Amino acid sequence: MKNNSYFCSRNSKWYMVNKVGVFCASSNKMDAVYYEEAARLGAWIGETGRTLVYGGANCGLMEAVAWAVHEHGGQVIGVVPQILAQHDRVSQYIDVTIHTADLNDRKQMLIDQSDVLVVLPGGVGTLDEVFTVMAAHTIGLHQKRLVFWNINGFWNDLFILFDGLKQRGGMTMPLTELACKVDTLEDLIAEIF
C-alpha cells in the first residue's frame, strides 16, 4: 500500500528543469527491466532537449541512460573521477566531461550541475550519493529535489528504513522535504516537470 507521505508535492515547482542529474547502478548484473527503464528515461531527456548529468561510466544503468540521451538528441555531461578514467571505464556518449579527483568531488559536482536529482536502482555508490544529497539538504546547503524512481518496488526497503528513522527521531526534517518516490516514468515526469 502506498504511503502518501513519500510522494512529491507539485506545489514546490519554482524553477526550470533543464539538467537532470541521475544516480544509478554501474552494475551489468541487474534485471533487464532496469536497463530498459533507464533507457526510457534517457530517451525522454534527449527528446525534450534536456541535459543528462551523471557519473560518466560506460557500464550498467549509467551507460543505458547516457546512450539513450545521446541517441535521442540530448546532451550528456559526464562527471568523471580520476579512477574511472584510469581504468578505461568512461562512456563514449559524453558530450562534456568534467574531471574530478575522487568520488567526493564527483558527488558535489553532480549536485551543483543538476536542477533535479533522479535516483534509479543502484547499489552502495548510489546510496552514498543519495545520503550526501539528503544530508546537505538537511543543513541547508541546497534545495534540490531528489526523486526515487521505484521501479518494481526497488526502493521499498529503503523507505521502510526512512520510516524507522523518522519514528525514532533520527530525521530532523520531514522526509517529504528531502525526497520522494514515484512508480512510473509518467509519474516521474509529472512530478519534476
Q: Are 189 and 44 in contact (CB under 8 A)?
A: yes
More confident residue, 149 or 17: 149
- In DSSP notation, 126-171 reads HHHHHHHHHHHHHTTS---EEEEE-GGGTTHHHHHHHHHHHHTT--
- Among 62, 22, 67, 21, which residue's Cα sits nearest to residue 46? 67
**Is beta strand 96-100 parallel, antiparallel or unpaired with respect to 180-182?**
unpaired
The pair phi, psi for residue 46, each rounded to 5°, is -65, -45
Q: Are 46 and 69 in contact (CB under 8 A)?
A: yes
SS3 175: helix
> The pTM is what?
0.91
Give the pLDDT confidence score for residue 15 in this predicted structure: 53
Each residue's pLDDT tens digit, 20-32: 999 999 999 999 9
More confident residue, 2 or 78: 78
Is the confidence at residue 11, as pLDDT, over 80? no
2 found inside a domain: no
8 found inside a domain: no
166 found inside a domain: yes
Alpha-carbon distances, residue 161 vs 27, 37, 142, 153, 170 (angstroms): 23, 25, 23, 14, 11
CATH (domain of 30): 3.40.50.450
Q: Which secondary structure element, helix H or strand E, spans residue 23, and what is its range?
A: strand 19-23
12 found inside a domain: no
Each residue's pLDDT tens digit, 143-187: 999 999 999 999 999 999 999 998 999 988 888 888 999 999 999
Give the pLDDT confidence score for residue 176 in this predicted structure: 84
Each residue's pLDDT tens digit, 74-129: 999 999 999 999 999 999 999 999 999 999 999 999 999 999 999 999 999 999 99
6 found inside a domain: no
55 found inside a domain: yes
More confident residue, 16 or 86: 86
CA 138 to CA 151: how far, in whole Å?
A: 26
Give the pLDDT confidence score for residue 7 in this predicted structure: 39
40 found inside a domain: yes
1 found inside a domain: no
Q: What is the chain's mean pLDDT, rounded?
A: 91
- Among 135, 133, 165, which residue's Cα sits nearest to residue 148? 133
Query: Residue 173's domain spans which residues?
Result: 18-192
Give the count of domains, the chain.
1
